[in-house]
Amino acid sequence: MPDINLKIYPAQNGDSFLLSFGKTHLLIDGGYVNTYESFIRQDLETIANKGEALSYVIVTHIDQDHISGIIKLFEQNQPEKFIEIANVWHNSYRHIHPEKEGQEVVKNKVLEVIKGGAYLKKVTNGEETTISASQGSSLASLLLEGKYTWNAELDGKAVATDNGQHFDLTGDLHLTLLSPNIGKLKGLERAWRKELIKKGYLNGLPETGYYDDAFEFMVAKYRERPRYKERKIAKAKPDMKDLLNQPFLEDTTPANGSSMAFILEYKTTKLLFMGDAHPGIVAENLKSLYAPEDFPVNFDLIKTSHHGSWANNSPELYRLIDSPSYVFSTNGVGHNHPDLETIAHIVSRKSEYTRKLFFNYPLEKAKAFDEPFLKEKYDYKIIQADGERPLEISF
């Protein structure tokens, strides 16, 4: 039996992964509501029926395509728990303002209006449906109500590099945090307050108290245009020279900036999960952790940032990292991810191994790179799942 099994759920244009290290199970993000209903629930019941627990639920950041399925899980896991969840990592408003420790969760009419709109998303056959949380609660409220162990390794503070980078999750499993820092989380709060002003809500909020629900509901629905505009496929065969010479503009959106990115090390296996993080902070932290002669750092698997968006996978970052296995989690709907530039920068570097690019949906962009001449020249393989069932990788 393999030591490690990674299950990549078909989460539409979202993210959801189940990582199993023997009897230690991690759920990283939950995709949309139907991701949970179609796949996650069944797998968690199987784990529970074996007498095992979900060791960690890691919510990389507040975005509908990452958090909707997680909220549905915690709704259905109380008051009677169908699976034990030992630990949760999730950043809410209270973690941006730890100085308010001990204050009550406030309720007033403005807050109720803010959280009154539906914000969970379900995507079926390309059709999006926004639905209300059945208990009208944010994930933060559900965690408090269920008395879950929350950010325990950081003493209840924000999951941020300022509060710690190295964590022993179990005896054999180690996590190194690369993103976010407190500055990125503060940037998300500023964006939230800007939206409050725009909607005329700010003056109606009390001076003190936690705003977990209002923060989560608005941030999850908030959409800011990315700086980089992805291009459509111009021809069947990618022009590698053109793609490699495209200018790079880093993502500046606050929600993605708040995303967790981390290294998971289990015995001799090293995996890099980048969530939707900004590449600059990931690169900065890698350079602080490794000596110059260690680069590029080789991982057994890299989950590309933000579904392979060019704005989140910089040339600088890919000079620092490499792997025989890259994962792209998206069906390409919405933002047309992944970007051709990202794929070009991954496959074009010299290496001593054949890279494998894993796509959990069949995509035209993957098909464009599934070109015999390019694969032979740059020594890589394209593996595409059918989008109907999880894609699994074992180590």
pLDDT tens digit sequence for 87-115: 999 999 888 876 655 555 555 555 555 55
Report the share of the chain in percent with pLDDT over 90.
70
Q: What is the pLDDT of residue 234?
A: 45
Give the list of residues 6+ apart from residue 355 with CB closer than 8 angstroms, or none.
323, 324, 325, 326, 346, 347, 379, 380, 381
Domain borders along the chain are 4-394
> 4-394, which class in CATH?
alpha beta
DSSP 242-297: HHHTS-------HHHHT--EEEEEETTEEEEE-TT--HHHHHHHHHHHS-GGGPSE
More confident residue, 63 or 138: 63
- The DSSP code for 161 is G
189: number of Cβ within 10 Å: 17
User: In whole angstroms, what is the distance from residue 162 CA to residue 179 CA?
Assistant: 10
Q: What is the pLDDT of residue 38?
A: 96
364-381 confidence digits (pLDDT tens): 999 999 999 999 999 999
Q: What is the pLDDT of residue 34?
A: 93
In this predicted structure, the answer to whether residue 157 has a pLDDT above a threshold of 80 is: yes
Between 64-78, 233-247, 288-302, 343-357, the lowest mean confidence (pLDDT) is in: 233-247
Kindly indicate the confidence band of residue 141, based on its pLDDT and cuts at 50, 70 and 90. confident
Token pair of 247 as six digits: 């200018």
Kindly indicate the confidence band of residue 12, based on its pLDDT and cuts at 50, 70 and 90. very high
For residues 358 and 330, is the Cβ–Cβ distance under 8 A?
A: no
